[in-house]
A and B are shown apart, each in its own frame.
Chain A
Amino acid sequence: MDLGNFLSALTPLNIVLALLGVAAGTVIGSIPGLTATMAVAVLVPITFSMEPASALILLGAIYTGAIYGGAYAAILLNTPGTPSAIATTFDGYPMAKRGDGDLAVAIACFASVFGGLIGALALLFLAPPLSQVALAFGPIEYFWLSVFGLSLIASLSKGNLLKGLAGGAFGMILSTVGVAEISADIRLTFGSQTLIAGFGVVGALIGLYCIPVLIDLVAVPDRHLKMENDVRSVRIREAAQITLKSKFNLLRSSVIGTLVGILPGAGGSVAGLVAYSEAKRNAREDQKFGEGEADGIIATESSNNATVGGGFIPTLVLGIPGTPPDAVILGALLVQGVRTGPTLFQSGGSIVYTFIYGLLIATILMLPVGLLIGRYAYKSIVAIPKAILVPAVGFMTIIGTFAIRNSISDVIIMICLGVFGWIVGRFGFAASPIVLGLILGPIAEQGFVQSWTIGAATNNLAGVFFGRPISQAIVAFTLLTLLYPAFSTWKQRRKTAKAGAN
């Protein structure tokens, strides 16, 4: 139908832009503190002098590259390069530690490309109908979605559920510090000017994940990652086999990513967590999530890259940005004179379709680019002496945290939070529940307050909280996630009992 649009996306200039964008995005995403939002925002003025479609392709390529790049730091340094790669650390770092970092990076690349393609295809064929998902999600659905995300704490806190829950609650309290987003108060600052800004998610991620790794690295003389003695050939084929074997996980996670991406206010981090949680629930008995299970990386990376295409759906169809980078791109579109809305897909659609094809091309280009950069990244991180790695990463955390909003106090907060995270982590209070609380806390609070306000106004609190089909489904999934481990042990026990009886 629109071969013309496809061909116009295929101009040499656009392909070069897509290639550059993906490469630059991958690198930017791999540096903790440098987010896709920032990279896209810096490049917006450059795009003013370009054709709108080319500009969009460049921005979209950077965005999708950055989401993939976040996996490098997550796998090799246990620090998510972008918030969407949080769940990649759960299994990526254990894999790297046992010497499979190259495999993990390659798996992440395949999964990202697949997820990105699914997201972009959904954007191409299903954008107008799928945009309704964004509207069907009311405050209460966001509330239950965040509760679902929090239920992951139960499976993340190894051994001690109470400690995990305490960490999650503490993270949620941290998230309320500062000026309240939807109510008229300033909370928990205890008179401090510094705390008014609150705990930024990106800074907190760097602190809670990266600083403990650094502290542990300097304390002992062991190597950072296990070094393989034999120089093996690149493990691309192995990675491709592993990825393809989990085709169901791949597809499920990509669909989750696309759908969560459509929701304004959720984003890649929530998508990754939800997909991870689902993959874990559907795991085979021999799979050990959290200890270097490839399916964990596949779930997170395919879903977070699917949010790129998914996020563009409400952005382009409704004019409501799905994620912060989408918001920047929406601004750039307005300046270019492109009006978003349902008509964009019908009438003046050529720009949109050229862009979507461009995004598809960029996603495919991510395969060679990502594997290449990933290989170098792995090799250098493994080979670099610890005495250089530690200060370089430390310096990177400082400059990266500073760059988020040009504030030194943010850096100090980041370091203090890191030391705090290291100490509590040593006593069984893991960082991940705290981070989950920090990320999901605001979503839960806003959803709750809004639902309560609406329910109280219409005298229908129970109906608002439990009466809507989507929220009922999310509640059911949450219960399933929480109860499934108990159920499977029960089944296991019955099985062995039966075997014993026979």
Chain B
Amino acid sequence: MLRRIILKTVAAVTIAASTGLAASAQTAGPVNYIIPFGPGGESDISARLQQPFFKDKFGQDMVVSYQPGGGGAVGWASLNGLNGDGQTIMGINLPHIIIKPAQKDVGFKTEDLNAFYMFHYTPDAIVVTADSPYQTLQDLIDDAKANPGQVTMSGSGKASANHLAQIKFDKMAEIKTTYVPFKGTGAAVAALLGNQVKAEWGYTTVGAKQGEAVRLLAVAMDERHPLFPDVPTFKELGFDMVGGAYRGLALPSSASEETTKKWSDIAAEINKDPEFRQKMIDGGFALLDIDAEGMSDFMAERTEEYLKDAREAGLIK
């Protein structure tokens, strides 16, 4: 069976591949872009959006592969053991890479990761269904004040961006809500749409994906998101909350400085493309340009903030 299967598969794949992969032969080889999560999440979608632009601009194929496990930890712990020749890059996510190593030894440390670019973030947002009684953020706050703990809010995971945002906002608004963790944003949104919970701590991307089925109450951005001009920022409403989950790229630490610089430029180049920007904004993402040089300042600032929030929330010691 094996031989036949192999022959058939090779034949089938070759035929299927000849339509698209023909160009890869004359380049240095495809770039392996590892997402340390399963498919379908924000990390995957933004990588998929980068994929065609990379090919367009640099002529090489970008192969997105998934290496889920341990909430990303498995991938990041393996990153520095990979070849640093610039043919392998990996997606990185904040706050994951800061919170996880602070909790327990997960096989990597935040500072071990050779992060070279942060290209977007998904701003935190409170999402409710279109028929929810909460018309404004104030409605939710009032309800939570009247019935402490009874306002249930779904979100993706614990000690995650959603969870930290919930803890932070509860403190700022002096309310008590109940956070219900789900596996991934998709499940958290399904729970919201099915009225299993009253609201969701999600991202602007949820609003973009669900369209008219949901309403955003507020977004954690400096200015309003172009896709949702009617949705106020937390700042406008008097809460100093800006942030969300940040996503970027990292190389193995063995990569040379030139390689790192080259990749930082590549990511910047893709981020500059107006069509890419538009696609990202349509998807609800907020673009960000932190290159290799600005990375250490950015990381230091974020690390301090996340660790402070997590410590106050009792998530780390």
Interface residue ranges, A against B (CB under 8 Å): 17, 20-21, 23-24, 27-28, 30-31, 37, 41-50, 58, 72, 76, 134-139, 178-186, 191, 193, 196-198, 200, 264-265, 314, 318-321, 324, 326-328, 330-332, 334-335, 337, 339-343, 373, 376-381, 384, 392, 396, 405-407, 442, 446, 449-450, 453-454, 456-458
Pick out which of these stretches binds chain A: B192-200, B235-243, B246-254, B264-272.
Answer: B192-200
State whether A49 touches B9 (Cβ < 8 A). Answer: no
State whether B194 touches A135 (Cβ < 8 A). Answer: yes
Interface of A is mostly: helix
State whether B103 touches A186 (Cβ < 8 A). Answer: yes
State whether A197 touches B74 (Cβ < 8 A). Answer: yes
Q: Knowing A45-B62, A45-B63, A454-B178 are in contact, say whether A335-B52 is a contact too (CB < 8 A).
A: yes
State whether B9 touches A28 (Cβ < 8 A). Answer: yes
State whether B5 touches A377 (Cβ < 8 A). Answer: yes
Q: Nearest A residue to B179 by beta-carbon distance?
A: A453
Distance from B7 Cβ to chain A, minimum over Cβ atoms (Å): 10
Q: List the B side residues contacting A45 at CB < 8 Å.
A: 20, 51-52, 55, 61-64
Q: List the A side residues contacting B182 at CB < 8 Å.
A: 182, 446, 450
Of B71, B190, B193, which one neighbours A179 at CB under 8 angstroms?
B71
The reply on B219 being an interface residue by CB < 8 A is: no
Distance from B307 Cβ to chain A, minimum over Cβ atoms (Å): 14
Lowest 7 A-B CB distances belong to which pairs?
Answer: A327-B40, A135-B194, A46-B20, A380-B1, A457-B178, A197-B69, A184-B159
Known interface pairs A50-B20, A200-B69, A392-B2; 18 further A-B residue pairs with C-beta atoms within 8 A, sorted by A's residue number: A24-B16, A37-B66, A72-B1, A136-B194, A137-B194, A139-B180, A184-B159, A185-B103, A320-B187, A321-B186, A324-B39, A327-B186, A334-B283, A335-B48, A405-B68, A407-B78, A454-B197, A457-B152
Cα(A456)–Cα(B150), bound, Å: 9
State whether A198 touches B178 (Cβ < 8 A). Answer: no
Of B40, B70, B152, B196, which one neighbours A178 at CB under 8 angstroms?
B70
Interface residue ranges, B against A (CB under 8 Å): 1-5, 8-9, 12-13, 15-17, 19-21, 38-41, 44-45, 48-49, 51-52, 55, 61-71, 73-74, 77-78, 100, 103-107, 149-150, 152, 157-159, 163, 178-183, 186-187, 189-191, 193-197, 209-211, 213, 279, 283, 315
State whether B17 touches A46 (Cβ < 8 A). Answer: yes
Cα(A68)–Cα(B5), bound, Å: 15
State whether B211 touches A264 (Cβ < 8 A). Answer: no
State whether B5 touches A454 (Cβ < 8 A). Answer: no
State whether A46 touches B19 (Cβ < 8 A). Answer: yes
Cα(A318)–Cα(B186), bound, Å: 10
Cα(A151)–Cα(B189), bound, Å: 29
User: Could you list some 12 contacts between A and B, CB below 8 A?
Assistant: A30-B5, A46-B17, A179-B69, A193-B107, A196-B69, A196-B74, A264-B190, A320-B189, A376-B4, A392-B2, A407-B74, A454-B178
Of B63, B70, B191, which one neighbours A197 at CB under 8 angstroms?
B70
Q: Knowing A41-B66, A183-B158, A450-B180 are in contact, say whether A373-B8 is a contact too (CB < 8 A).
A: yes
Cα(A325)–Cα(B151), bound, Å: 34
State whether A196 touches B70 (Cβ < 8 A). Answer: yes
State whether B181 touches A449 (Cβ < 8 A). Answer: yes
Q: List the A side residues contacting B70 at CB < 8 Å.
A: 178-179, 186, 196-198
Distance from B145 Cβ to chain A, minimum over Cβ atoms (Å): 15
Cα(A473)–Cα(B61), bound, Å: 50
